[in-house]
Amino acid sequence: MSKPQKSSVKVRRFSKAFVWAHAVNAISFFALYITALPMYTEFFDWLYPILGGPEGARLLHRIFAVGFITPTFIWVIFDFKGFKLWMKELVTWKKRDLEFFTEFVKELFGFNFKHVRQTFFNAGEKINSIIQIFTAILIIGSGFPMWFPQFFPRAVVQWGYLLHNVGFGLAIAVIVGHVYLSVVHKNSRPGYSGVVTGEVPAWWAQEHYPDWYDEEVAKGNFPKLDDPHKPTTPGTPGTPNKKKKKGA
Amino acid sequence: MATEYVKFVDVTKCDGCRACMVACKNWNDLPAEPQDFLGSAQSHAKTTADTWNVLQYIEHENSRGGLDYLFRHSACFHCTDAACEKVCPEDAISYTDFGTVVIDHEKCVGCGYCVNNCPFEVISLKEYVDKNGDKYRKANKCTMCTDRLEEGLQPACVTTCHTEAMQFGDKAVMIQKAEERVKQIKDRYPNAMVYNPQGVGGTHTVYVLAEKPSVYGLPENPKVPTSAVVWKDYAQPIGKMMIGATTMAVVGAFITNTIISKKKNGKNENGGDSHE
Amino acid sequence: MQYTDCALIMGANPAENHPISFRWLTKAKENGGKIVSVDPRYTRTSSMSDIYAPLRSGTDIPFIGGMIKYALDNNLYHKEYVAKYTNASFIVKESYKFEDGLFSGYNADKRSYDKTQWAFEKDAEGNLVKDFSLEHPRSVFQLMKKHYTRYDVDTVVKVTGTPKEDLLNVYKAFCATGQVGKAGTIMYAMGTTQHTVGTQNVRAFAIIQLLLGNIGLPGGGVNAMRGESNVQGSTDFGLLYGNLTGYLNAPTSIDPLNATLAGHLEKETPKTGYWSNKPKFIVSLLKAWYGPNATAANEFAYQYLPKGNKNYSHINLFKAMYDGKLEGAFLFGTNPVVGGPNAGKEKEALSNLKWLVAVDLWETETSAFWQTDAGSNPAKINTEVFLLPACSSYEKEGSISNSARWMQYRWQAIKPLGESKADLEIINELATRIKGLYKNEAGPVAEPINALYWSYGEGHHPDIDLVCKEINGYDVNTGKLIAGFGNLKDDGSTCSGNWIYCGFYPEEGKNRAKNRDKKDTGMSLYLNWSYAWPMNRRILYNRASCDPSGVPYNKEKAVVWYDAVQGKWTGVDVPDFVATRKPGDAGFEDPFIMMNDGVGGVYAPTLNDGPFPEHYEPYESPVQNPFSSQEINPAIQLFDGKFNERGFKADFPIVATTYRVSEHWQSGTMTRNQEWLSELVPHMYIEISEELAKEKGINNKDEVIVSSARGEVKAYAMVTKRFKPHKINGKNVHQIGMPWHFGYKGIATGETANRLTPHIGDANTTIPEYKAFLCDVRKV
């Protein structure tokens, strides 16, 4: 099924800093998840012996909690431009972003769908990011009073437990989808290499993020792909985009 | 089914001798933990993991301009709706048939949720060291001597109390006694009241207080924290449902993808399925 | 106590120091009784009371003197009781005078009185002259009335600092018990006795109680709250230096009559009252001590009794030690470096000993006085110290006697730990070995030791049952136990180690101290629980609860009565009276059988400092005595020089007092070594009013230095609303208080309050004046 002529060309989608940040974030998250599971539900109590008892689990949870806080800093310090772009994208919403979702659902379940033109981040990723940021704030914010209850008013600690729980619930729900799309789902799977190596197949990038791709082509950063098989190419390559995209 | 019992503490009969504190440590084998000088006769600021009851000493200028020297035996209230029981993630805290609330150290993981959610602030964590030198924590509080109750004895503090400021017995009888006592002492203590807060469904340590609860540093209307109710009754079940729903969604997606892919195998009509 | 209508608690803090008594006071309250607390500071007892009145330390006599006047002025006293059951009707000799704080017969050089000048008037036949109308100007009643005229409410308030309203509330509440059928009790402890007028403080209580008819009935009495669980037992068994056992006086050679037993008996035995049986008790005691070596021919070994003439009180012993006049000392369970007055000097005194044997559960501040920790230089101290480990009460068998005179037997719970031994065993070993050393010697030193009859079995530990039997007494010929002290003889045929306990072991196998029957035998007297001396009577002088004809004043609370049908006294208590005495018999109307005259002593011409209590200021006081120009008790013994520095108002303007807390016991030896008690009161502190703290710039929890003429002590400041400055004569007089339990040994340590207290004692007992002295306070 593969089209060898397509797969050979790769383009840089994410900086090394982002790759690191993402990796730390992902590993921390799952480690936090695992170390908290036996507390979340007794069904997973068997994890305690593996984690070194409640104390081991607690220690690991705290170590990874620190890990969980660092990605933002890694990204900000080593790739501020990328971070800024992300932030900007998150607050930029257009009609096509909404359109994206209807198509996304079709794509998700493997039905026929059309690509809605997207910029550096597609609407799904933006939603993912927003929810992740929101839940991270909830989790981290509530984590501090839980870790150091002696420095916080009791009410803050008490609400902290709730928010930690809510944040976690939301995050895990989103992340299950996020992971599925990146690792399992065939249409978005190529994007997975983007968070591992920073590079993605050019054809995939062009298909999923045509606005961004075309802009980079215009800047001379990416090769112009000639894909006869490409059935639909909505929009015009090189269409001026008001938003400055600085993917690199 | 055992009888539901109540420890009735009549603070107006207490003479502050602190025998209850010593009896508690004796029966429960708790170590001493001397404190810095606190500026009053009180030995510990509040209950701790090794000091399950603390006698409070309060100098209170009463509404008539006189001085009252008030005492209160403070310990776990053994709530009917116990916040600690609600928030415990390990089901380590449970109600007994006697109406007492007890912590199972086998199950306790030392998370401290109970500590921070107790409306009366009577639970504390204690650090232990196992035989390998590793540290671990467990939550501790008054057990109402449930081990004694099981043997047909009364709590150690009650047994030792020499002024009958503490009595232990059938819930209804004790509450009735408390109500009668309040009537008797209204002249001396106009603000006297029975403290059996309904916000936590009533308690199994019921007080006759000489003054308003706030004078003793007690909440006027204690209840299970709203956050705990939202957390345990709503957020957690919904969260679990959400995780289930998302998981179901991705599993569904995987299945439909597989099926559709198989169907379309070789056709490659649509652009959407042309990637791997 | 649960039957009282009003309990006046003064010089005591039972809620803290005698908590068990509060069990009964709580019951009294439930029964409608009132509780009154009079104390310089608002204590836990005060918080449990219906009425609280503050007073300045050392002003108990004005306080009660004012109450006496109040009761007399307002006709609140129990008239029949006063006339019939007290010596108010007696006429006093004309030689009795009272002027400017001095009674007649005062010798300023000797600081003592010629008490014969206070005697009662007798007629030609030697009978007392009485006036039952109480109107004779020289009747005790009129003299008392005159004496206390000066104690009017306004003067009292000026001296005590008690707010007038509070004072009158107390007077009103307590004097209401003068009504026939009502009972009031007074509870006191060391706050009353540890003064230079300690004995007279208690006398003042006795007077008001006699006036109100409160002696001899349930819910009445003057109740000493003992400082230790077995103080009663100790004094019963001759602990006081002037006593043999059973309150028999120790003979002194200064009185020529004491040269022979016959003379001694003559001197000691009154013609009337129960003490007329005294020779039986003395001879039986000598028979117990010297056994077969006491015979009629050798005056029952009377000559072997030491006949010292000195005051052997605590202060005097330490004075002798300080002056190098004592070579060695045995200290059994006593810790004077913490508990003694002017403790710094007592510690110095110990270093003058050649040897010191300390018998205690732990090494105390006293037995370790020579160590660097104690601030001593061991190189400069030549005292050889032996520490003998004693075992605790749970590790031994024996009895203790409580304030209600119950002799309660206790069994051994566990074997003594380590090498520790019971005191009894230590003494037994000591006695047998000393006897062994002198066995083959003769002469005045060896003779009494050889004559001593010491036969308590063969083991190291004496056979306690043999000791018990000897205490009770037995027929020396048959060995048969004596049923009661009424059966003791003065011919040497009986022995009894302590006559007041004779009867507790009336027959073989029936040691009544071991009685443990919880059944209420009536009026909550529990006659079959342990044994109360004398003869298991629970309420002393209970005859006084009945009117002269033998009918109880309060029928609902009747304990004894005369049963005309049976022709004898009966009741739920054992009558403290000759049960067979019938109406018309001599003495039928005299309830106080131990008093020579059969009546209560409103007037006591036997005390060293006067027949009526009179107010004198404490040895150190910031206030002038408004009652007379006698500032301090004129009959107290003064110790001067470095042994007892005296402080004055200019340098030390603050009144100080010491006290105990529930959690620590005495010098803390036992409790400061117990971690659960130590954590409850872990620090030395002083209690100080908000007003004084403000003046001195002291905040709560600050460390402060308290200084007196004798020394300095560091402590934490507990700033409290419970201490208020006393308004004395319009001016604020500050007072502080502090616990005296602390020392440098043990788990809970702190500086010793008694480094501040003076070496001065009561005129009759020489009990030190711990409760009122002068100090100053400053922030560290």
pLDDT one-digit tens code per residue, B46-57: 999 999 999 999
Residue C571 and residue C560: Cα distance in Å, rounded? 4
Sign of CA dihedral C652, C653, C657, C658: negative
Q: What is the pLDDT of residue A75?
A: 77
Instruction: Find the range with the poorest average confidence among B234-248, C376-390, C393-407.
Output: B234-248
Contacts of A186 in chain B (CB under 8 A): 257, 261, 273, 275-276
Q: Cα-flanking dihedrals φ and ψ of residue A210, to 5°? A: -60, -40
Comparing CB atoms, the residue among A42, A111, A173 nearest residue B246 is A173
Interchain pair B15, C16: CB under 8 A: yes
Residue pair C223/C540 in contact (Cβ under 8 Å)? The answer is no
Q: How confident is the model at residue B264 (pLDDT cuts 50, 70, 90)?
A: low
Q: What is the pLDDT of residue B273?
A: 39
Q: What residues have CB less than 8 Å from B133, skipping those under 6 apart?
A: none
- CB contact B128 to A (< 8 Å): no
Instruction: Find the range with the poorest average confidence among A106-110, C273-277, C637-641, C687-691.
Output: A106-110
| DSSP strands (E only) in C307-346 | 328-332
Instruction: Return the bridge partners of C36, or none.
Output: C8, C51
Interchain pair B16, C701: CB under 8 A: no
- Return the number of other C-beta atoms located less than 10 Å from residue C79's C-beta: 14
User: Which chains are within 8 Å of C by 3+ CB pairs?
Assistant: B
Q: How do the residues of chain B divide into helix, strand and coil, expressed in percent and rounded to 5?
A: 35, 20, 45
Q: Which pair of structure tokens corresponds to residue B74?
A: 């403070």
Contacts of B160 in chain C (CB under 8 A): none
Q: How confident is the model at residue A235 (pLDDT cuts 50, 70, 90)?
A: very low
Structure confidence by residue, pLDDT tens digits, C340-397: 999 999 999 999 999 999 999 999 999 999 999 999 999 999 999 999 999 999 999 9
Residue C576 and residue C506: Cα distance in Å, rounded? 18
The amino acid present at C55, given as its one-letter code, is L
Residue pair C573/C560 in contact (Cβ under 8 Å)? The answer is yes
Interchain pair C23, B41: CB under 8 A: no
Interchain pair B276, A162: CB under 8 A: no
Q: What is the pLDDT of residue C263?
A: 97
Interchain pair C47, B33: CB under 8 A: no
Structure confidence by residue, pLDDT tens digits, A189-219: 666 777 777 777 777 777 777 777 777 777 7
Interchain pair C23, B18: CB under 8 A: no
Sequential DSSP letters for C627-695? S-S--B-TTSPP--GGGG----TTT--EEEEEE--TT--TTSTTTTTSHHHHHHS-S-EEEEEHHHHHH
Interchain pair B272, A170: CB under 8 A: no
Q: What is the pLDDT of residue A226?
A: 60
Q: How confident is the model at residue A6 (pLDDT cuts 50, 70, 90)?
A: low
Identify the closest residue of chain B to C719 by CA–CA distance.
Answer: B39
A-B contacts (CB, under 8 Å): 146
- pLDDT higher than 90, residue B64: no
Interchain pair B116, A53: CB under 8 A: no
Q: What is the pLDDT of residue C156?
A: 97
- CB contact B240 to A (< 8 Å): yes
Higher pLDDT, B166 or A14: B166
Instruction: Return the bridge partners of B143, or none.
Output: none
Q: Which pair of structure tokens corresponds to residue B261?
A: 């892919």
Residue pair C324/C332 in contact (Cβ under 8 Å)? The answer is no
ipTM of predicted complex: 0.90
Residue B273 and residue B269: Cα distance in Å, rounded? 8
Structure confidence by residue, pLDDT tens digits, C748-765: 999 999 999 999 999 999
Comparing CB atoms, the residue among A161, A204, A229 nearest residue B227 is A161
Contacts of B115 in chain A (CB under 8 A): 149
Q: Which pair of structure tokens corresponds to residue C608?
A: 């060293």
Contacts of B69 in chain C (CB under 8 A): 42-44, 46-47, 722
Q: What is the pLDDT of residue A186?
A: 65
Contacts of B16 in chain C (CB under 8 A): 15-16, 44, 47, 662
Residue B179 C-alpha, separation from nearest chain A C-alpha, in angstroms: 32
Comparing CB atoms, the residue among B109, B110, B246 nearest residue A177 is B246
- pLDDT higher than 50, residue A80: yes
Interchain pair B136, A54: CB under 8 A: yes
The amino acid present at A225, given as its one-letter code, is L
Cα C398 to chain centroid, rounded: 23
Comparing CB atoms, the residue among C46, C677, C682 nearest residue B22 is C677
Comparing CA positions, the residue from B76, B73, B100, B78 lying closest to residue B9 is B73
- CB contact B39 to C (< 8 Å): yes
User: Which chains are within 8 Å of B by 3+ CB pairs?
Assistant: A, C
Structure confidence by residue, pLDDT tens digits, B100-113: 999 999 999 998 99
Q: Which pair of structure tokens corresponds to residue C309?
A: 């003439």
Contacts of B21 in chain C (CB under 8 A): 676, 680
- pLDDT higher than 90, residue A5: no
Residue B103 C-alpha, separation from nearest chain A C-alpha, in angstroms: 16
Q: What is the pLDDT of residue B66?
A: 86
Structure confidence by residue, pLDDT tens digits, C430-474: 999 999 999 999 999 999 999 999 999 988 899 999 999 999 999
Provide the percentage of residues in chain C whose pLDDT is more than 90. Answer: 96
Torsion-angle region of C571 (φ positive above 0: left; ψ -120 to 50: alpha; else: beta): left
Mean pLDDT across the stretch C73-86? 97
- pLDDT higher than 90, residue A71: no
Mean pLDDT across the stretch A170-182? 78
Residue B30 C-alpha, separation from nearest chain C C-alpha, in angstroms: 9
Q: What is the pLDDT of residue A236?
A: 40
Best residue in A5, A45, A106, A176 to probe B by mutation, most B CBs within 10 Å? A176
Residue C60 and residue C770: Cα distance in Å, rounded? 15
**Helix runs in C485-597, H state only:** none
Identify the closest residue of chain B to C703 by CA–CA distance.
Answer: B37
Identify the closest residue of chain B to C677 by CA–CA distance.
Answer: B22
Whether residue C634 is preceded by a cis peptide bond, meaning omega within 30 degrees of 0, is: no
Interchain pair C701, B37: CB under 8 A: yes
Residue B193 C-alpha, separation from nearest chain A C-alpha, in angstroms: 27
**CA–CA distance from C399 to each of B134, C35, C428, C512, C514 (Å)?**
50, 32, 17, 11, 9
Comparing CB atoms, the residue among A48, A165, A187 nearest residue B272 is A187
Q: How many residues does chain B have?
A: 276
- pLDDT higher than 70, residue A244: no
Touch between B and A (at least 3 CB pairs under 8 Å): yes
- pLDDT higher than 70, residue B1: no
Structure confidence by residue, pLDDT tens digits, C153-208: 999 999 999 999 999 999 999 999 999 999 999 999 999 999 999 999 999 999 99
Touch between B and C (at least 3 CB pairs under 8 Å): yes
Mean pLDDT across the stretch C600-607? 96
Structure confidence by residue, pLDDT tens digits, C536-556: 999 999 999 999 999 999 999
Contacts of B117 in chain A (CB under 8 A): 158, 161
- pLDDT higher than 90, residue C647: yes
- CB contact B91 to A (< 8 Å): yes
Q: How confident is the model at residue A222 (pLDDT cuts 50, 70, 90)?
A: confident
The amino acid present at C331, given as its one-letter code, is L
- pLDDT higher than 70, residue A242: no
Q: How confident is the model at residue B261 (pLDDT cuts 50, 70, 90)?
A: low
Q: What is the pLDDT of residue C359?
A: 96
Q: What is the pLDDT of residue C272?
A: 87
Instruction: Find the range with the poorest average confidence among B229-238, C152-161, C371-380, C606-615.
Output: B229-238
Residue B107 and residue C353: Cα distance in Å, rounded? 63
pTM: 0.88
Long-range contacts of C696-701 (CB under 8 A, 24+ apart): C696/C777, C696/C778, C696/C779, C697/C779, C698/C777, C698/C779, C700/B39, C701/B37, C701/B38, C701/B39
- What 8-state DSSP symbol labels residue B231? I
Mean pLDDT across the stretch C270-292? 95
Give per-residue burial for A205-234: e unless 16+ CB within 10 Å, then b.
bbbbbbbbbbbbbeeeebeebeeeeeeeee
Identify the closest residue of chain C to B12 by CA–CA distance.
Answer: C48
pLDDT, averaged across chain C: 96
**CA–CA distance from C398 to each of B213, C91, C411 (Å)?**
48, 48, 7
Q: What residues have CB less than 8 Å from C195, skipping those under 6 apart?
A: C58, C60, C201, C618, C762, C769, C771, C772
Comparing CA positions, the residue from C35, C56, C7 lying closest to residue C771 is C56
Residue pair C248/C269 in contact (Cβ under 8 Å)? The answer is no
Residue pair B241/A169 in contact (Cβ under 8 Å)? The answer is no
Half-sphere exposure for C245 (CA within 13 Å, toward CB): 21
Sequential DSSP letters for C257-296? GGGSHHHHHHHH--SSSGGGGHHHHHHHHHHHHHGGG--G
Comparing CB atoms, the residue among B18, B35, B163 nearest residue C682 is B35
Structure confidence by residue, pLDDT tens digits, C325-347: 999 999 999 999 999 999 999 99
- pLDDT higher than 60, residue A232: no
Q: What is the pLDDT of residue A171?
A: 84
Contacts of B111 in chain A (CB under 8 A): 39, 54, 58
Comparing CB atoms, the residue among C680, C681, C700 nearest residue B39 is C700
Residue pair A191/A200 in contact (Cβ under 8 Å)? The answer is yes
Comparing CB atoms, the residue among C662, C685, C747 nearest residue B18 is C662
Residue pair C611/C106 in contact (Cβ under 8 Å)? The answer is no
Residue C219 and residue C544: Cα distance in Å, rounded? 13
Mean pLDDT across the stretch B110-125? 94
The amino acid present at C554, given as its one-letter code, is N
Residue B24 and residue B180: Cα distance in Å, rounded? 28
Q: What is the 3-state secondary structure (H, E, C) of chain A?
A: CCCHHHHCCEEECCCHHHHHHHHHHHHHHHHHHHHHHHHHCHHHCCHHHHHCHHHHHHHHHHHHHHHHHHHHHHHHHHCHHHHHHHHHHHHCCCHHHHHHHHHHHHHHCCCCCCCCCCCCCCHHHHHHHHHHHHHHHHHHHHHHHHHCHHHCCHHHHHHHHHHHHHHHHHHHHHHHHHHHHHHHCCCCHHHHHHHHCCEEEHHHHHHHCHHHHHHHHHHCCCCCCCCCCCCCCCCCCCCCCCCCCCCC
Residue B153 and residue C630: Cα distance in Å, rounded? 62
- pLDDT higher than 90, residue A35: no
Instruction: Find the range with the poorest average confidence among B248-252, C135-139, C476-480, C496-500.
Output: B248-252
Q: How confident is the model at residue A2 (pLDDT cuts 50, 70, 90)?
A: very low
Q: How many residues does chain C have?
A: 780
Tokens 């590079």 sit at which residue?
A: A199
- Residue C398 three-state SS: strand
Sequential DSSP letters for C200-264? HHHHHHHHHHHHTT-SSSTT-SEEE--SSTTHHHHHHTT-STTB-GGGPBPP-TTSGGGGSHHHH
Residue A177 and residue A167: Cα distance in Å, rounded? 16
Residue C768 and residue C761: Cα distance in Å, rounded? 4
Residue C574 and residue C522: Cα distance in Å, rounded? 11
Structure confidence by residue, pLDDT tens digits, C210-233: 999 999 999 999 999 988 889 999
Residues 179-218, chain B, touching C (beta carbon < 8 A): 188
Comparing CA positions, the residue from C151, C98, C247, C221 lying closest to residue C603 is C98
Interchain pair A204, B91: CB under 8 A: no
Contacts of B188 in chain C (CB under 8 A): 50
Residue C414 and residue C419: Cα distance in Å, rounded? 14
| DSSP strands (E only) in C477-601 | 494-495, 531-532, 560-563, 568-571
Interchain pair A165, B250: CB under 8 A: no
- pLDDT higher than 80, residue C43: yes
Residue B239 C-alpha, separation from nearest chain A C-alpha, in angstroms: 5
Q: What residues have CB less than 8 Å from C510, skipping those under 6 apart?
A: none
Mean pLDDT across the stretch C55-84? 97
Q: Which pair of structure tokens corresponds to residue A106?
A: 């079709």
